[in-house]
Amino acid sequence: MALQKKDFVEIEFTGKLKDGEEIFDSNIKADVEKMHAGHNHSKEKHDMNVKPFVFCLGEKMFLEGVEDFLIDKPENSASYNIEISPEKSFGVRNPKLVQVVPIKVFHAQRINPTQGDVLNFDGKLGKILSVSGGRVITDFNHPLAGKEVIYKVNLKRKVTDINEKVKALFDFFFRQNFEFSVSANKLIVEVPTGYSQLLILFKDKFKEILGLELEVKELSLENKKEISQKIKDKVEEMKN
């Protein structure tokens, strides 16, 4: 059967510029090591970043060009080289995103901007193109905007297990896992105090993607102690 929108898949991938061999994105160990060669990154950091990626097709969890390509492809494992235009990868360059930022903005943060610096402006990355007097020309385009890219994608499998799907969404939306259970058409999630409102914001998304109603329960102190004890008991069981 062919893959469809809202199917979950597991992939390995490596991204390169079409006009070069430099790797800019990967979750394959050997390619991650090449990508970080010459930089001060520990082996542990490489290993931490290397794992297969599970995501839902058609939900903008990965590059649009890759998602569009995989839809209607066979479910069985395969390898593809996918050429992607700027419109479906990192966007076309927008001249309006090259802006003049007064140098006093940097000085207020005790920063001396220099050409080539990439800085974080309230969550948006900007590259310093030039510094002249009190004017700092800053490019807020994505570094790969306007570039054609090639992604080598190894389609490992179609993911059908509901627990894997839930964990993939937790990782994508929240960058962490929560205790959960699935009963009939309901996803029951147990979260620490203060997290419930965050999860509720994604209630419609879980319904749309998984067809499950989201119910969030905040853990009481007693719940936390009980879970902690269960974990300790499990560890002791494994030792024996």
Q: Are residues 100 and 187 in the same domain?
A: no
Q: What is the pLDDT of residues 13-34, one digit of tens each?
A: 999 999 888 899 999 999 998 8
For the stretch 152-192, pLDDT in tens is 999 999 999 999 999 999 999 999 899 999 988 999 999 98
pLDDT at 45: 45
Report mean pLDDT in 10-residue bins for the chain, 240 residues: 96 93 91 76 50 94 96 96 96 95 92 92 91 93 94 97 96 92 93 89 96 90 50 55
What total of structural domains would you count in the chain?
A: 3
Contacts of 206 (CB under 8 A, 6+ apart): 169, 187, 212, 214
Return the CATH number at 44.
Answer: 3.10.50.40
Domain interval for residue 202: 161-240
* Consecutive H or E run containing 149: strand 149-159
Neighbours of 211 (CB within 10 A): 11
Summary mean pLDDT of the chain: 88
> Are 103 and 116 within one domain?
yes
Inter-helix orientation angle 203-210/162-174, to 10°: 140
**CATH code of 204's domain:** 3.30.70
Q: Domain boundary at 158, 192, 209, which? A: 158
